[in-house]
Structure 1
Amino acid sequence: MSANTIEDNRSRFNFDGVEAIWLFGYGSLIYKVDFPFLEQRPASIQGWARRFWQGSHDHRGTPEAPGRVVTLVEQPEAVCRGMAYRVSPKVFEYLDVREKNGYLRFSTAMTFDDGCQAEGLVYIATEDNQAFLGEAPDADIARQIALATGPSGPNADYLLRLADSLRQLGDDCAHTFALEACLLKSGLLTES
C-alpha cells in the first residue's frame, strides 16, 4: 500500500446524512488539536496497543531520515487510552491530508470515562504501508527519534509532548514512557 493514503481514506466511508462522528486520537491528535470539534472527551479503545512503529517522512522526519510516530497494533488484552472528538465529517478533508503518510481510517468502538460507549473512527497505519518501520529495540527507536527532524519539528518533541499528554490523561503507556526514558538518557537532545 502506498504511504499516501488521502484518496484511499476519502473512498472508505460515506458521510451522506451524517452531521457528526466521533474520532479517536492516540498520538499527536491528543495534543495537537488544530481542527474544529463539537465535543472532546477522554476515551479508550480495546484490543489495540500504541507503538512507535510508523515512519514519519512528512512531519517528524524526511524521506532520507524518517522519524518515528505512533500507530496501533492489535493486542487482544490491551487498552489504549486517548482523546475522542465529536467532529463534522468536513474535518476529514483536513485530517486525511495531515494523516496521509500510511494511515487509514477504521471504525472502532470507544469507551468514555463514564462507561458510555460510541462508535467512531481512528487512523491506523497498518504494517502493509510503505512507511511502516516495525518493531526495534527501545534504544534504537529512541536514537532514531532523537536524530530526526521534519517540517513539523524535531521528532523528540513529538515523543515528549505525547508522554506528557498521556500523563495528564492518567495513562500508563509503558512503551511510550520507556522510549521517553531512553531518549532523555541518550545525551542526544540539545538545549534549545
Structure 2
Amino acid sequence: MVVPEHQDSDPANVLIEKEAHSDQVDAVIKETPDQSIWVFGYGSLIWKPPIHYESKQGYWLYQELRSSILAGFQHSEDHRGTPEKPGRVVTLIPFDEWKTIEDVHGHDDVTWGVAFKIPSTDVEATRAYLDHREKNGYTVHTVDVYSAEDDQKPAVKDALVYIATTDNEAYVGPAPLEQIAKQVYETYGPSGWNAEYLLNLAEALREISPEARDDHLFDLERLVKDLINNNKSS
C-alpha cells in the first residue's frame, strides 16, 4: 500500500503549542540544579526514544493518568494516519475520567512507561524534536513518576510528559476493539503503518517488566495480528 502524502497541521496552531511548551519547560529547567530535564514516555517513546538522552530508566509507573490506547481515543493525522484517513495512537487522560468509561478489562491505576534524562546540552534540541513529534493535539505537562519498587515516593519529580487532552480536536473517544483493530490495520501515515505502531508498543511494554500489563492493549494486539494472518492466508 502506498503511504499518502503528508499534510502538516495548521502552522499557526503548531506555533501556539510550541510557545506553551517552551514556557512550561523553562519553568522546570530553572528548578533543576544541573539544568537537565526528565521526559516520561508512555507510547512510541518507549521503543523510539528521543535522539539525545543521558540515561534511560525502565520499570516506571505513572499514577493519576491512564493510557487510552486501550480504547483508541486519539486520532493521528500526522504520523500514523492522514487527515483523510486518521490512525489511532496513545494519549493519557485523568484517571477519574477514565473510571467513567465502560471497559470489560477493568480500570488499572497505573500506566507503564520509561523515563529519560536529557542533559542540559541537549535540552533545546530535544524540546524541538518532541514539539514537532507530538504536535497533533499534544501539550506538555509535568508529572511525578514512580518505580515498581516504591509506589509511595516519586522516583522522579516534575518529569515532562506530552498529553493530548480530551478537549483537543484529534480526541475521538472510545470505540469497540474490533472497529479500532480494523482502523489500525488499514491505516498508514508518514511515520508508517499504524499496525506497526501498535505491535511495537505491545512488545515494548512487555520488555519494560514482567509485571507490565495492559490487557486491553494486548487484546487489541491479538485482533490486529488476526487480521494480518487472515490477509496472508487469503
Q: Confirm whether residue 173 of structure 1 aligns to residue 214 of structure 2.
A: yes
Q: Give 1:87's aligned amino acid.
A: I
Unmatched 5+ stretches in structure 2: 1-9, 97-107
Instruction: With the length of structure 2 as denominator, give the TM-score of the two structures.
Output: 0.75
Q: Please report how far the alpha carbon of residue 99 of structure 1 lies from its aligned counterpart in structure 2 after TM superposition.
A: 0.6
Task: Answer with 5-14 or 97-106: which moved more.
Answer: 5-14
Q: Please report how far the alpha carbon of residue 112 of structure 1 lies from its aligned counterpart in structure 2 after TM superposition.
A: 2.5
- Aligned with 1:29 (options 42, 45, 48): 45
Matched residues in 2 for 1:155 and 1:162: separation? 11
RMSD over aligned Cα, in angstroms?
2.0
SS in 2 for 1:32: coil
In the TM superposition, structure 1's runs of 4+ consecutive aligned residues that sit over 6 Å from their partners are none
Q: Confirm whether residue 7 of structure 1 aligns to residue 8 of structure 2.
A: no
Q: Give 2:220's aligned amino acid.
A: L
Q: Where do 1:6-155 residues align within 5 Å?
A: 6-15=18-27, 17=30, 18=32, 19-42=35-58, 43-52=60-69, 53-75=73-95, 78-88=109-119, 89-90=123-124, 91-115=126-150, 117-119=155-157, 120-155=159-194
Closer, same or farther: CA 168–130 of 1 in aligned 2, 3 Å: same
Q: Percent identity?
A: 38
Q: Please report how far the alpha carbon of residue 117 of structure 1 lies from its aligned counterpart in structure 2 after TM superposition.
A: 1.6
Instruction: With the length of structure 1 as denominator, give the TM-score of the two structures.
Output: 0.90
- How many residue pairs align between the two structures? 190
- The structure with the larger Rg is 2
Unmatched 5+ stretches in structure 1: none
Q: Give 1:174's aligned amino acid.
A: D
Q: Give 1:118's aligned amino acid.
A: V
Q: Please report how far the alpha carbon of residue 127 of structure 1 lies from its aligned counterpart in structure 2 after TM superposition.
A: 0.9
Task: Answer with 69-78 or 165-174: which moved more.
Answer: 69-78
Which structure has the highest strand share of the two? 1
Contact 1:44 1:112 in 2 (8 A): yes
Closer, same or farther: CA 54–188 of 1 in aligned 2, 3 Å: farther
